[in-house]
Structure 1
Amino acid sequence: MSAEIDVAISIEDEAWTQALPGAEELCRTMVLATLQAAGGDFDGPAVEVSVVLTSDTAVHALNRDWRGQDKPTNVLSFAGLDDDEAPVVVGAPILLGDVIMAFGVCAQEAREQGKTLAHHAAHLVVHGTLHLLGWDHEEDEAEAEEMERLEAVILSGFGIADPYAEGEGQGS
């Protein structure tokens, strides 16, 4: 992975920084680890990933408007490579996409699953970043299992338990 990778972090809900002071560095680290582990061949132009840490209200609106789901969710991914109408500018970075996380849902899930917010957020960043790279768990059971295994491998490198293992609570 020799291309320049820019990870832009935007914190729109201060609850994230209050509950997770290292949120920006955590997100940046997990995006980079995921891109490396997923074997992305980034030898060409620079790439950019955006991570937005926001509120349940903001994610609820996005989930309703873009997915037809009238409720908040933990993480949404919008892959830039899926947009056939996106302009291509020679020399400009390739926008892999956006990972958007809802504070209240993530914090509630962490509590219910007996995890720290840091570990749960790390998992969701990995999960969301894999979606940006084209991974999907909705349509193909084998791909879902492979995605879960890759998530577990990435997280284990940081001492984070497999979120799909028995007794570790639900995955995302």
Structure 2
Amino acid sequence: MAGVKPAAKPELSLSLQFADPAHRAQLPRHKVMRWIRAALEAPGEITVRIVGEEEGRRLNHEFRHKDYATNVLTFDYEHEPLVMADLILCAPVVEKEARELKLPVADHYAHLLVHGTLHAQGYDHEDDDVEAEAMEARETQILLGLGLHDPYPDKR
């Protein structure tokens, strides 16, 4: 409709850190902002840190008691009225998974940033099938809206 503005995206304060600079060129700030803002439902203050395998493994062990590096860790501190969180992404794991999924590395980062941002807002997929389905549906909607892939094609 003419004259109708699309809904404004929530404000985002982003800190983007590269402890592992391997993918810095594939993660320009404007893209990271776009991907996270697409998943935000409230204003947010989010730190994204790209780490190597050692730091990823140490954090996963310390906070989840799992002795391996994982793709994304979400540390959420506040959900309302402001989303405050740290998203830690392990570059070697993201690259390996992207290769296995036959996706561009940047596209896989987009999915994991959307996934982590949803976790930061209270979405979960660990213990409840209904919550998992809702989170996966939201992720798919966001990624397709960004012109990216359906991360759960086998579930449709």
TM-score normalised over the length of structure 2? 0.86
CA distance in 2, matches of 1:23, 1:74: 19
**Root-mean-square deviation (CA), in Å?**
2.1
CA distance in 2, matches of 1:53, 1:24: 13
CA distance in 2, matches of 1:5, 1:75: 20
Shift of the 119–49 alpha-carbon distance from structure 1 to 2, 3 Å rule, reads: same
User: Which runs of no fewer than 5 residues in structure 2 stay unpaired?
Assistant: 1-7
Count of aligned residue pairs for this structure pair: 147
Q: Which amino acid aligns with 1:143?
A: E
Deviation at residue 160 of structure 1 after TM alignment? 0.7
1:113 pairs with 2:101: yes
- Name the % identity: 36
1:155 corresponds to? 143
Deviation at residue 55 of structure 1 after TM alignment? 1.0
Report 1:11-160 matches (<5 A): 11-18=18-25, 20=26, 22-35=27-40, 40-42=41-43, 47-81=44-78, 94=82, 96-160=84-148
1:98-144 deviations in Å (ceiling 9; x for gaps):
11100000000000011111111000000000010011100110110
TM-score normalised over the length of structure 1? 0.78
1:79-115 deviations in Å (ceiling 9; x for gaps):
0128xxxxxxxxxx95611111000000000000111
User: Which runs of no fewer than 5 residues in structure 1 stay unpaired?
Assistant: 83-92, 168-172
Deviation at residue 41 of structure 1 after TM alignment? 4.2
CA distance in 2, matches of 1:80, 1:13: 24
